[in-house]
Structure 1
């Protein structure tokens, strides 16, 4: 499970992308009560629009060429201090076209042994905020978000930049810095860099959409239960009982025909079922957050299998239906009390599952990893209930208080 982070008023929702292969920009208009935008730079194609320092174009993205410099980097958890050469690419200033209140970045990259990367964002102020230090492995650096970042323009909440009240995010730049062990020729390669911005008022209720698919559709997504892994590798966020996000991500990776090699899985106890789920938990773990629910770490993990992946927010189940119609399952984030989602049998402060289809009546078919076993993962949830718990930004708790909701967060993972 992933506890929901605080969503302030004016924070939430994103539009669907229009291509299974490449997301397009979608901007809300002036009259849109919930404007959103996802913008992505594909590298090296779009590299000339920004500024490269020490990076060169390669066949699959930007890589380190003649380094821009070198730095000593200490990893207390690994007990290492190493010298790394680096290069960076800074995007041009991008304006989403509205006063955004929240930004989540995404990237697709390869980080062979001895390499890693860092992603940062800057609004119209002078501060660069770090949104993640990332590598697909965990032997060179500790994969982590960075705490305690704020100024008068906003702050970072794990993987999300939240604009301060009175300081809307009208423009931003992204920066990716690639690192390699000094004296080696290994290099990370970054293929895409993008960000979702949004500005949606706080809301407890969401109007139900009418089904848009002419008939029921169900995609053959593998079914994995996180609860099969209860107690396994608790160093990765608490064990399987907390692995809803990587379990969901792994289901979609395997839907696309990809999975870890036997060599990659050799570290997993051979008595454990579904070792690819354990591997996904290790590959998405955020040391500072102490969990596997960092949204862009999950999509970046999926992209290491040659897939294209990013974090976004969708506006309605109609938008999600458009993905299902194109054969694309969608990972969704939601929170709810037990009585708010018939058939779930539990309540949660934050949970990920995979929408794999819709019934002829328009109800949601989901692979819900919070199930006792793989055979019990498939659920059918009432459309109006699901749409509310997924898209709302505020909710009432059983204790009489209020809490936040994800506002339609989704992982889009495609070929």
Structure 2
């Protein structure tokens, strides 16, 4: 049996296994999750207003033409938007997305709503009678006023964790507060209809890194995956989804598309408006030109490969030689790996030897990973700490 250092072990050090109720040490400096510039490091607060004074514009902006005259749109007229943090404030769009994600069909569901912003999705969740509670993870003081009416109206059904969701302490705080204690643990063979996770990702590299880390946590069932196979909904830049969902031969096809697909099924969430124009749906910075769209994530019961670490290893190595023919790239995976080309070719399932790495389909990657996993001379250590969480 090969001895490997699993990515899940490093993920545990980064996210500190937040489902554990005991205190965890901070991750070492080289694995500490970087902090987005939009936020300041503040302590965690549960259910109480933060002390700092929220940022406000000297003069409220006029409502965009055609914008709904709702509490959220009115409130956000006076709030300066955060860079790289578009937040959904069109409540009709939020309701449509939440239903497209299927939350209304779940049972006594606890929703973890991260990067909640001004609470557009939060409101849509709380309107559903089958939603038991919504755990809001949001640090931006400027948006806290948007939750006052929700706290008054819904009481204990809404919980506030005022910590940056990019930090593992946010998820530890949820567990320490006991907010997930009533969520049953369901065997991974069947979906868990009692837990849903959503996130409005930052549109910068931090958002992509967070997304990838949360998906990687499936390898070894770390993080909230200890509760079972729940579903996830994300609002994020369309450019990220294009990258993650790219297929063989398409522009942008790379390692993240291969490794993500091995762990989850992913689908775009279509809306009537396509969330266009953005000013009628989001509170966002004037310089933010990203196209924010929703997707739904469903975890696979088991990964598509025998050992996910083996797939991660060969994909990382071979995509570094993405323009090379696949036999040459296989030979670069490890000393002696050129011998695997004959084994792969003998299966009759590989493409012509002139095909380059970016033309390999998911079936090809599964075959390569499994052959590599069962190779008697493959490296014992399959994980590179320096590449952890970057998707490269």
TM over 0.5: no
**Higher helix share goes to which structure?**
2
- TM-score of the two chains, using structure 1 as the length reference: 0.26
- TM-score of the two chains, using structure 2 as the length reference: 0.27
Choose 1 or 2 for highest CA Rg. 2
